[in-house]
C-alpha cells in the first residue's frame, strides 16, 4: 500500500531507546528511517540513548541525517537521569516523546510532566515485564505503579503484537484509539534477489552436500532456549542421519550449546557461526528454522520467524511464539516444550515430507499484511500524528 505523499511539517520526535546497537527495536527504527528516505518522506527524529553509550549503528543513523543524544547520567541515578532527559526535551522543543522501554517508560513520562509535548507514546516491545533490578521484591513492588503511570499519562500505549499489548494492559480492556497494536515493518528486499547455493554453502561449513540444516538464528540466551535445539537434533539424527544444526548468533549460552552437543556425541553435526550479518543468505540455504522460545513469557514479536518464511523455511516453533508473525503461507508445527525432543524431531520429518513453502506466495502475503513496509511506515507516522511529508 503506497503512502500518499502530502506536504506537512513533520513532528519533532524524540525516541528514547537503550542504545543504537543490534537490538530488534533499534534496527526496526533504522529500517523505518531508510524506507522513509527511499520514499522521500521527511522525518524529524532524534534518538536519546538512555545508557549513554554509542552503538554499532550510530553512523548509519547519523548518515540518514538523524541526531543522537547520549544521556550524560546513568539510568541508575533516577533523579539526575530524569533532570537530564527533561532538559533535552525542553531544549529540543519536541512534539512527540516516543518511549521504547515498556514499564521503564514510566520514568521518561515522569521526566516530561508539564512540558508542552503534543503526544506521549509508550511502545511495549516485550511481554516479560522485567525491570532493571536484581531484586524480585522491587520488581514486584514497582511494576503496577509504573504500569499505572504509563496507562494514565501516555496518549498511546502501543504493543508490537496482540499478546504484548494485552499483557501490558494486564486484564484491562483496550481503549479505542489509545491502546493499539503496531507491527514492525519487515523489508523483503533482503530476500528478493537471493538464490540458494546449497551445496556450496554446505562445503563452506565442511558438511556433506546433502546435509539437512536445522537453523537456529538469533541470540544465544535463555529467553530463546537454544540448548533445546541440540536435543532436537540428537532425536532428529536418529530418524534422519543427514540432519545437522547451524547456530547463527552469539550470546551467553554458546558454551552450553557446545557442551550439550559433546554430551550427546553429536558435536560433529553442529556448526556455530557466531553473529552474522548475512542471515538471509543462511536461511535460503537451510531446511528448517527452529525457535523453542519459553512459553512464559511469550515472545513479543518473532521478526526472525517472518524472515524465515521469506527464506522459504519450514518452521518448528514453541507455544512461546505468538500467531502474529505467521503468514497464511507458513509451513509450521507448533509444539509444547513439555513434548520430548522425539516429538519435535517427528514434526521436522513430517514437515520435510510436505511440499516446499511458496516464496512468491509468502512475499504476496507479506505485502497484504500490516508488516508491509509502506503500511507500517504510514501507521507509525499516524502514531506521531503526521501525514507523510514529500521532501
Q: Give 325's Cβ-side CA count (13 Å radius).
A: 27
CATH topology of domain 189-367: Rossmann fold (3.40.50)
Q: What is the CA radius of gyration of the chain?
A: 22
7: pLDDT strictly greater than 50 = no
Region 203-220 average pLDDT = 96
Q: What is the pLDDT of residue 344?
A: 98
Q: How does the average pLDDT of the chain come out, rounded?
A: 94
- Where do you find CATH 3.40.50.2000 in the chain? 12-185+372-383, 189-367
193 falls in which pLDDT band (50, 70, 90)? confident
The sheet with strand 314-318 has its strands ordered as 270-274, 243-248, 212-217, 288-291, 314-318, 332-335
pLDDT digits (tens, 9 = 90+) for 328-374: 999 999 999 999 999 999 999 999 999 999 999 999 999 999 999 99
Predicted model pTM:
0.88
Q: What is the pLDDT of residue 133?
A: 81
pLDDT digits (tens, 9 = 90+) for 255-311: 999 999 999 999 999 999 999 989 999 999 999 999 999 998 888 888 899 999 999
pLDDT digits (tens, 9 = 90+) for 75-107: 989 999 999 999 999 999 999 999 999 999 999
Distance CA 221, CA 47 (A): 27
Contact 34, 17 (CB under 8 A): no
132 falls in which pLDDT band (50, 70, 90)? confident
CATH topology of domain 12-185+372-383: Rossmann fold (3.40.50)
Amino acid at each position: 500500500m503506497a503512502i500518499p505523499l502530502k506536504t506537512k511539517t513533520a513532528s519533532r520526535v524524540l525516541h528514547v531507546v537503550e542504545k543504537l546497537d543490534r537490538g530488534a527495536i533499534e534496527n526496526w527504527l533504522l529500517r523505518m528511517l531508510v524506507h522513509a528516505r527511499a520514499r522521500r518522506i521527511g522525518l524529524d527524529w532524534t534518538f536519546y540513548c538512555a545508557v549513554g553509550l554509542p552503538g554499532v549503528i550510530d553512523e548509519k543513523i547519523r548518515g540518514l541525517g538523524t541526531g543522537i543524544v547520549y544521556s550524560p547520567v546513568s539510568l541508575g541515578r533516577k533523579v539526575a537521569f530524569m533532570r537530564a532527559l527533561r532538559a533535552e526535551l525542553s531544549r529540543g522543543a519536541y512534539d512527540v516523546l516516543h518511549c521504547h522501554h515498556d514499564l521503564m517508560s514510566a520514568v521518561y513520562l515522569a521526566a516530561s510532566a508539564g512540558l508542552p509535548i503534543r503526544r506521549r507514546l509508550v511502545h511495549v516491545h516485550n511481554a516479560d515485564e522485567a525491570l532493571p533490578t536484581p531484586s524480585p521484591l522491587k520488581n514486584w513492588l514497582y511494576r503496577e505503579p509504573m504500569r499505572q503511570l504509563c496507562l494514565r499519562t501516555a496518549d498511546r500505549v502501543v504493543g508490537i503484537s496482540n499478546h504484548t499489548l494485552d499483557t501490558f494492559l494486564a486484564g484491562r480492556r483496550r481503549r479505542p484509539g489509545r491502546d493499539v497494536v503496531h507491527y514492525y515493518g519487515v523489508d523483503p528486499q533482503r530476500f528478493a534477489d537471493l538464490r540458494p547455493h546449497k551445496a556450496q554453502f554446505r562445503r563452506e561449513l565442511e558438511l556433506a552436500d546433502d546435509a539437512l540444516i536445522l537453523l537456529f538464528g538469533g541470540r544465544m540466551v535463555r529467553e530463546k532456549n537454544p540448548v533445546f535445539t541440540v536435543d532436537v537434533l540428537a532425536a532428529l539424527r536418529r530418524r534422519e542421519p543427514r540432519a545437522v544444526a547451524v547456530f547463527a548468533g552469539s550470546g551467553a549460552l554458546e558454551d552450553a550449546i557446545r557442551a550439550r552437543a559433546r554430551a550427546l556425541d553429536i558435536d560433529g553435526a553442529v556448526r556455530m557461526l557466531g553473529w552474522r550479518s548475512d542471515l538471509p543468505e543462511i536461511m535460503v540455504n537451510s531446511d528448517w528454522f527452529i525457535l523453542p522460545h519459553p512459553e512464559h513469557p511469550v515472545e513479543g514479536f518473532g521478526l526472525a520467524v517472518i524472515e524465515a518464511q521469506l527464506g522459504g523455511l519450514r518452521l518448528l516453533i514453541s507455544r512461546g511464539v505468538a500467531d502474529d508473525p505467521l503468514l497464511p503461507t507458513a509451513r509450521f508445527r507448533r509444539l509444547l516444550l513439555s513434548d520430548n525432543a522425539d516429538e519435535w524431531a517427528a514434526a521436522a520429518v513430517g514437515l520435510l515430507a510436505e511440499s516446499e513453502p511458496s516464496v512468491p506466495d509468502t512475499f504476496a502475503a507479506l505485502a497484504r499484511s500490516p508488516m508491509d513496509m509502506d503500511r507500517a511506515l504510514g501507521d507509525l507516522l499516524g502514531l506521531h500524528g503526521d501525514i507523510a511529508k514529500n521532501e
